Amino acid sequence: MAKIVCQGTLLQCNFGVAPMPMIVLPEHKTLAGVLPVANINDHLPMANIPSFGLCSCLKNPEVQAATTAALGVLTPMPCMPVTTKAWESGASQLKLAGKPVVTEQSTLKCQWGGEIKVIKPAPVTANTK
């Protein structure tokens, strides 16, 4: 059984500096206890996916420009996630609003090259097989 992703689940981007809690709006009207549950379409920047502080990925144009201005010294810039595609590896058998539920094994790609992972899921389990 995999843990499902709910409001407040801690996420981390491999190019970000700080883990941050996911935001899950109660639009699906499905709760795990008192927490809204996420499906793979809950990937909108700032609405679902918060800023991870600073970004250090050179594919991010702001980081690239700041690093160039600093004569090649990596210069992290404020993180603004660009997550245009759905979460990968959702629970294929457990669906919410017709889409797979996000689990602790799911990952999300940022357009700038980062990979967002669950680092501390909510303490809720579900049969996802």
- Examine residue 44 and state whether it is found in any structural domain, yes or no: yes
Residues composing the chain: 129
Using CA atoms, how far apart are residues 63 and 87, in angstroms rounded to an integer? 25
Using CA atoms, how far apart are residues 110 and 124, in angstroms rounded to an integer? 26
- Examine residue 26 and state whether it is found in any structural domain, yes or no: yes
Residue 121's nearest CA partner among 35, 46, 26, 15 is 35
- Examine residue 71 and state whether it is found in any structural domain, yes or no: no
Structural domains counted in the chain: 1
- Examine residue 62 and state whether it is found in any structural domain, yes or no: no
Identify the three-state secondary structure at position 63: helix
Torsion angle of the four alpha carbons 14, 16, 21, 22, in this order, in degrees rounded to the nearest 10:
-70
- Examine residue 75 and state whether it is found in any structural domain, yes or no: no
- Examine residue 70 and state whether it is found in any structural domain, yes or no: no
- Examine residue 58 and state whether it is found in any structural domain, yes or no: no
- Examine residue 33 and state whether it is found in any structural domain, yes or no: yes
Ordered per-residue pLDDT tens for the chain, 129 residues? 678 899 999 999 999 999 999 999 887 777 777 889 999 999 999 999 999 999 999 999 999 999 999 999 999 999 999 999 999 998 888 888 899 999 999 999 999 999 999 998 866 655 544
Read off the CATH number of the domain in which 21 is found. 2.60.200
Q: Which range of residues forms the domain containing residue 45?
A: 2-53+81-126
Residue 5, judged by CB atoms within 10 A of its CB (0-12, 13-18, 19+), counts as buried
Residue 64: the pLDDT is: 98
The model carries a pTM of 0.89
